[in-house]
Each structure stands twice: as C-alpha cells, then as structure tokens.
Amino acid sequence: IADADAFKILLEVKMKKRQKKPTLPSTVTELDTEDGSKVYVVGTAHFSDSSKKDVVKTIQEVQPDVVVVELCQYRVSMLKMDEKTLLKEAKEINLEKLQQAIKQNGVMSGLMQMLLLKVSAHITEQLGMAPGGEFREAFKEASKVPFCKFHLGDRPIPVTFKRAIAALSFWQKVKLAWGLCFLSDPISKDDVEKCKQKDLLEQMMAEMIGEFPDLHRTIVSERDIYLTYMLKQAAKQIELPRASETEPRKYIPAVVVGVVGMGHVPGIEKNWNSDLNIQEIMSVPPPSASSKIFKFVIKATVFGLMGYGCYRIGQRTVQFILSMPAAQSYLQKLTEVRSQH
C-alpha cells in the first residue's frame, strides 16, 4: 500500500487506542493551547518507582504525538544506559571527574556540577536506584506509540551554570564556593522516605540556593520558562498526510506528554499563557572583573598548595638522602678533598 495510506491506517489505530477521557495519575497537570492541543505534564520525583509508573500510564492512556523530557543534550546519554551502569557512574565521583567538570564549565560551574553529583550519588547509594528512571521509561514508551516524537526540553547545563555564576557578586561566589567545598551530608533517612512523594533533589538544591535569590532565578525560574516554551513548541498542530500535492493541507491538534520534576510544574502553569522569548535566558554574559579575580585567586591557591606540597616533599627527600650512610661518607670525602686544596 502507498505510504500515505499506511500512515492513515496507523494513525487510525493510534486514535482508537487514545482514550477520550483518559484515567490519569494525580501527578498529571493538564494544559490546553489556543488551537486545541493538549499537554499532559507529569510531575515526577527523580528517584521514585511510582513516578516511572505514572509516566508509563500517562503515555499509554493519551497516545501522544510528542513526548518532552526535562533533559538536555549533555545528559541524553542516561536514556540508553542500563540501571547498573548508571548506578556505578553515580557512585564514582573522583578527582578526575572534578577536573573534567572544571575544564568544561569553569571553576564555579564545575564545583556546582560536582555538588549535584555528590547529592545525587548519596541518594543513589541510600536507595540503590539510579536517577532519571522516569525519563528512560518515557523514552521506551514513546517508541511504542506510532509517529510519536521524542524531544529534549531542558536548557543546556553549561548555559544554566554559567548564567548562575555570572549573577553572583564576588563575595557571594566566595561564600558559595566555601559551602560547596565543605558541604556536609545533605540527606537523612526521613528525607529518603519523603523522596517517593516529592522531588527531593530539586528541593535540596532550592534549600541550598535559598540565600542566593539570583541563583534560584537562573537555576529554577529561568528553566521553568525554557521548559514551558519547549512544551508549547511541541504542542503545535500536526499536519495530516496528503494523497497528492494538490490536496489542501489539513491539521489536527497535537497531544503532548511532558515529563518534568515536580518543582517545575507550578512555574510551567504560571508561564503557560504568557508570550515567551528564550533568547535572553540563552545568552551567557561575559566574565565580570570579579569573576576574573575569583578565578585568579582559586588558581593561585591551587598552585600555591601544590608548590608548597612539592617543596615539603622535596625538603624531606633531601633530608632523607643526606641521612643515608653512603651520602654521609661521600660528603666527608668531599670535605677532606676541599680542605687539602
């Protein structure tokens, strides 16, 4: 059969499976667009089996045209990695990873990235569950729905971190860096239990950045805007297949499922009916004078500590060599030769 006919048959099958009045989990928020498209936003906790089930049920019930997840291209690898590999990756936080993060994103952005990894790794160890399970389930379920597209809906991590750091004053950066370097254990057993009901990771981040309003704006509020924009882009009407070029174009409203952390749902609802322009929140401001000074201070401190370490090691090495009998004998002979001349 012709491609257009095959498309129509599969589309009919999909429409029959799509529930007119879907039975949805309580974590789903339904939003509408002006042209009649529907968006079902699933609010998830990043370490929760119940969230994974909510995502699967929602996609099966509404048979979406597009699934949008709170991931960017820098984190897309987690979709195809198995649970064991992710569990291992999350637990292995070492100096090499820190150096790589700093090299890619700068000192402060690298430290922030490592903080997220540290918190995530701790929860991973306590729960025995790798993060992002709801995104992997969304990816698998979307592949089972005919003509369903899969979109990455989050702003790139480097942009978020660089904008966050640029928003801070010199002393705020110093204070934040100190807090990141000497962060104590951030999670209790009670928090682990609460993890199944709320987005614990994002709540922890919110508590940590609470005293830095500009950080909250760039890490949470701006991403709310970006996610909203991407969901609205995904919800544009769909063009139906045509038998020929002369046949007029026909469009139908789209059905979209968004999978995001619970902490972003209120912001998405708030921004839904606003005209959004993401150009401003995608730009990375040039480094300020305070940023350059801070970077110099960090580098000077690191190299200073390394230099002092080498000096101490060298000093001890020299003392050790001089204390050896062979060295003492050689020095005695050298002294006798010099005295004879």
Domain holding 50, by residue range, is: 3-286
Report the Cα 215 to chain-centroid distance in Å.
Answer: 15
pLDDT tens string 117-145: 666 666 666 667 777 889 999 999 999 99
185-134-137 Cα angle (round to 5): 145
| 182 plus 267 within the same structural domain | yes
- Distance in angstroms (rounded) separating the CA atoms of residues 4 and 46: 40
| 66 plus 119 within the same structural domain | yes
| 188 plus 302 within the same structural domain | no
Token representation of residue 268: 């998405």
| 127 plus 276 within the same structural domain | yes
User: Residue 82's closest CA among 43, 136, 154, 119?
Assistant: 136
Token representation of residue 265: 């749902």
What is the torsion angle, in degrees rounded to the nearest 10, for the CA atoms of residue 310, residue 314, residue 316 and residue 322? 180
- pLDDT for 319: 56
Which residues lie below 8 Å from residue 289, measured CB to CB, with a gap of 6+? none
- Distance in angstroms (rounded) separating the CA atoms of residues 98 and 121: 14
Domain end point (choices 241, 271, 286): 286
- pLDDT for 63: 95
- pLDDT for 74: 85
- pLDDT for 195: 55
Report the Cα 238 to chain-centroid distance in Å.
Answer: 30
Does residue 64 come out as left (phi exceeding 0), alpha (psi in the -120 to 50 range) or beta?
beta
- Distance in angstroms (rounded) separating the CA atoms of residues 10 and 145: 10
Q: Are 39 and 32 in contact (CB under 8 A)?
A: yes
| 145 plus 190 within the same structural domain | yes
For residue 18, count CB atoms less than 10 angstroms from its CB and return exposed for 0-12, middle for 13-18, buried for 19 or more.
middle
Domain count, the chain: 2
Domain end point (choices 241, 262, 286): 286
| 249 plus 103 within the same structural domain | yes
| 58 plus 197 within the same structural domain | yes
| 86 plus 231 within the same structural domain | yes
- pLDDT for 191: 62
- pLDDT for 48: 80
What is the torsion angle, in degrees rounded to the nearest 10, for the CA atoms of residue 267, residue 268, residue 274 and residue 276? 100
| 305 plus 211 within the same structural domain | no
pLDDT tens string 38-67: 999 999 987 788 899 999 999 999 999 999
Helix runs in the chain, H state only: 3-17, 49-62, 83-91, 95-105, 107-127, 133-144, 157-166, 170-181, 189-194, 200-208, 213-216, 222-234, 265-271, 279-282, 289-322, 325-340
**19 phi and psi, to 5 degrees?**
-75, 130
**b/e burial code for range 130-161 (CB count within 10 A of at least 16 → b):** bbbbbbbbbbebbeebeebebbbbbbebbbbb
8-state DSSP, 248: P
Which residues lie below 8 Å from residue 253, measured CB to CB, with a gap of 6+? 33, 35, 36, 37, 38, 237, 238
The letter for the amino acid at 75 is R
Domain end point (choices 286, 310, 330): 286
Q: What is the bridge-based pairing of β-strands 38-44 and 255-261?
A: parallel
| 224 plus 332 within the same structural domain | no
- pLDDT for 29: 97
| 233 plus 267 within the same structural domain | yes
- pLDDT for 108: 64
Q: Which residues in the chain show pLDDT less than 50?
A: 318, 321
Which residues lie below 8 Å from residue 4, measured CB to CB, with a gap of 6+? 241, 242, 243
| 324 plus 243 within the same structural domain | no
